[in-house]
Structure 1
Amino acid sequence: MRYAPLKERAPGRSLPTNLIRNQLLPHVAERRPGTQILDIRRAPAPYRSSWWLENLSLALDDGTVYHLVLKDLATTVPGSRTDQVKPRAVMNPDREPWVYQTLLEPSLDGSPPFWGTGFETDGGESCMFLERVEGVPLSEIGDFDAWLAAAEWLGEFHARFQGRPSPGGPLLHHDQSLHEWWFQRAVSYRGTEAFLGLESVHRRALQEALRTEPTVLHGEFFPSNILVEDQGGRYRIRPVDWEMASFGPPSWDLAALTSGEWSLRDRTQMILAYGRAAETAGSPIPPLDGLQRNVTACRMLLAIQWLGWGPSWVPPSPHRYDWLEDARSCAEEL
């Protein structure tokens, strides 16, 4: 794919339907040889993202209907300011399609089936097609069992890749240089006074996090990026939005899931659910106090990353939280 600068979609602008049809023809031919596309119905996707999303309903001449999501990998939603605050050093439009093609298995992990990528006409920016899956964001679910199910899913997913070399590709790698860069970026935006006493603790948090055996990470395992399908009392977890997929400490994803104003009891319950699932799947898990400390270290690193996104950026509502106070709170625990 061509690596183009991010841009904000102009109001009222959308990809021509004929262009979408042409991009989808080879994917339809692969799945339903000999069929033709009769109709494409389009609607804005109901869930918020920094990237432009559309729901597509594809009607074929044999009566088959496919429900897809089009995700524009180079164009952001008006007002999101993603093009201004997402550092190009960590953004790569090749990453998410690569993860779907290379690492994810819908039958195992509930991920949306990947159809393929396409290109826009005005400069060659890329877009991606996925099958639409059932579910609502975890952030909208009050049943704590759904949160425990997400923690269990995460433990099983991490266990599949732990103990193996990095898959490579365009994955981010959580190493010392990346997190030192995030800290300096946050300081440059917020001022040195805001981080008094935190730099040395940040170094300790980084050492603690990097002691663990790395694995493939979602990268932004926040509740708003986790779709949950209620299957009659059993929750199926379907993470989406893999733009920040990476290789690093497992507790990074667990820190994202348990971020926010949780009680110690509830956070501990999610950590325990994660540990049991990972251990059952064959992954070595430290004792609870060690795992909690590692999650706290990653929560601090995560808070610093949020503070480093941009000088005046306000996170979307699911992530609107006092991240500086969270960093200080984690520092006290460490």
Structure 2
Amino acid sequence: MSGPAVAAHRAVDAWRSLRPRPGVPEGVELLARRPHSTIYRLTGVGRDGAPVIAKLSPSSTATIERAVYQEVLARVPVSAPRFYGLVAEGDGQDWLFVEDVGTERFSPESPAHRTLAAQWLGRLHATAAPLAATTRLPDRGPGHYLRHLRTGRRMIVDHLHDPTLSADDREVLLGVRRQCDLLESVWDEVERICADVPPTLVHGDLRPKNVRVRATGRGSALLPIDWETAGWGVPAADLAPSRGLALQSQVDLEVYAARAQEYWPGVDTATLCRLVTVGGLFRRLAAVDWASHGLVHPWPQKSVAQLRVYKDELGQLTRSLGPAAEAASALRPPAAPG
């Protein structure tokens, strides 16, 4: 969008209430329209004429992002997007304005990116931990993910008899329910692994689409974005990959351990590998919860397809918790319908 229509755009109106100068952007570009947020690029209005990202989202998540940018990232020695401010839109929504950090995505397959991410996360987790007492953010400990498990399972059970589902679809849902039941039965092991890990700021959804890499005069900078799932908790989810059956961390664990020693003395790669398994479970439980809400739609097959993938991943990750989980998996009978 360009020309006279730009000045009338809602994002521009919110931006001008925050920064009256330099005035109207050169253009407005729609970048993404998601179920709970809409994202635009405003060109020519940021520092030195750089573009700015305008994100419209529920106030509940926008205020989390503002707290992360203003109260944590601004106080720790890590690279971060420039935060311009938050403007209330009304009807329970807010505009969040941050620097546009480019388009190069973090790649877990790149050794250089894995090292860069390990250094960045290790430094963040070490230096943000002391701020937990003074910054209000949600709890992202094991209890948060147990709630994801229970909410997602409840949605699945409630929709098992949807007449639009095939017999194969129901088998998928029953399989996910069985994996949730199994994991809940060994949740004490999850909590045991997390018990000695000091809480710190966690992003909660670090993956390529939410992390940018930008070249600077001093090398490459890592710039995570979209902090709406952030909070205080063990850093398990930040170390684990967002998808796939592989149990490998998405960062170099030896480099991370060296950086994290400051807040987690004695941490070693064996401990971190166990935490990666737990982080993988955390991320799949959140994904199951999110996908299960799609079962309410008249055509739930897309959600079933997603849950089919998560079922297999949950099974492997749960068995990887150790002998107790393997034994429970062998003994547990198939889930009954309904």
Q: Report if TM-score (shorter chain) is over 0.5.
A: yes
CA distance in 2, matches of 1:15, 1:227: 27
Within a 5 Å distance, the mapping from 1:61-76 to structure 2 comes to 65-74=49-58
How far apart are residue 193 of structure 1 and its match? 3.1
| 2:252 alignment partner in structure 1 | 270
Range with greater deviation from structure 2 (289-298 or 229-238):
229-238
How far apart are residue 206 of structure 1 and its match? 2.8
How far apart are residue 135 of structure 1 and its match? 4.4
Within a 5 Å distance, the mapping from 1:253-332 to structure 2 comes to 253-256=238-241, 259-262=243-246, 264=248, 267=249, 270-279=252-261, 281=262, 283-311=264-292, 313=294, 322-332=309-319
Q: What amino acid does structure 2 have at the position aligned with 1:198?
A: L
Q: Does 1:54 align with 2:40?
A: yes
CA distance in 2, matches of 1:194, 1:49: 27
Q: What amino acid does structure 2 have at the position aligned with 1:187?
A: R
CA distance in 1, matches of 2:245, 2:75: 32
Within a 5 Å distance, the mapping from 1:194-233 to structure 2 comes to 194-231=179-216
Q: Contact 1:205 / 1:300 at 8 angstroms: preserved in 2?
A: no
Pick from 93, 113, 116 the counterpart of residue 149 of structure 1: 116
Q: What amino acid does structure 1 have at the position aligned with 2:253?
A: I
| 1:9 alignment partner in structure 2 | none
CA distance in 1, matches of 2:221, 2:131: 26
Q: Contact 1:226 / 1:238 at 8 angstroms: preserved in 2?
A: yes
Give the aligned length.
290
CA spacing shift, 1:305–1:150, aligned 2, 3 Å: same
| 2:102 alignment partner in structure 1 | 134
Q: Does 1:23 align with 2:8?
A: no
CA distance in 2, matches of 1:144, 1:64: 33
- Which ranges of structure 1 fall in alignment gaps of 5 or more residues? 1-13, 30-34, 76-90
Q: Does 1:103 align with 2:72?
A: yes
| 2:233 alignment partner in structure 1 | 248
RMSD of aligned Cα (Å): 3.6
Q: Percent identity?
A: 20
CA distance in 2, matches of 1:124, 1:307: 26
Query: What is the CA deviation profile of residues 120-177 of structure 1, one whole-angstrom value per residue up to 9, with x for unaligned ones?
Result: 36x36311111212341214x75321122112211111000235544442x2203454
CA spacing shift, 1:297–1:142, aligned 2, 3 Å: closer
CA distance in 1, matches of 2:10, 2:99: 18
CA distance in 1, matches of 2:247, 2:189: 24
Q: Contact 1:172 / 1:247 at 8 angstroms: preserved in 2?
A: yes
CA spacing shift, 1:296–1:27, aligned 2, 3 Å: same
Q: Contact 2:200 / 2:234 at 8 angstroms: preserved in 1?
A: yes
Relative to the length of structure 2, the TM-score reads: 0.72
| 1:116 alignment partner in structure 2 | 85
CA spacing shift, 1:106–1:213, aligned 2, 3 Å: closer
Query: What is the CA deviation profile of residues 248-303 of structure 1, one whole-angstrom value per residue up to 9, with x for unaligned ones?
Result: 0022211246x535475xx4972222112222x55424222122112212222222
CA distance in 1, matches of 2:22, 2:216: 33
| 2:63 alignment partner in structure 1 | 94
Q: Contact 2:183 / 2:318 at 8 angstroms: preserved in 1?
A: yes
Q: What amino acid does structure 1 have at the position aligned with 2:312?
A: E
How far apart are residue 59 of structure 1 and its match? 5.4
Q: What amino acid does structure 2 have at the position aligned with 1:179?
A: Y
How far apart are residue 221 of structure 1 and its match? 1.4
CA distance in 2, matches of 1:321, 1:152: 35
CA spacing shift, 1:153–1:260, aligned 2, 3 Å: farther
CA distance in 2, matches of 1:27, 1:132: 17
Query: What is the CA deviation profile of residues 31-89 of structure 1, one whole-angstrom value per residue up to 9, with x for unaligned ones?
Result: xxxx55255311123798962111111359xx9524111111139xxxxxxxxxxxxxx
CA spacing shift, 1:320–1:44, aligned 2, 3 Å: farther
Pick from 152, 156, 167 the counterpart of residue 186 of structure 1: 152
Which one has a bigger Cα radius of gyration? Answer: 2
How far apart are residue 231 of structure 1 and its match? 4.2
- Which ranges of structure 2 fall in alignment gaps of 5 or more residues? 157-172, 295-301, 322-338
CA distance in 2, matches of 1:48, 1:21: 20
Q: Contact 2:114 / 2:250 at 8 angstroms: preserved in 1?
A: no
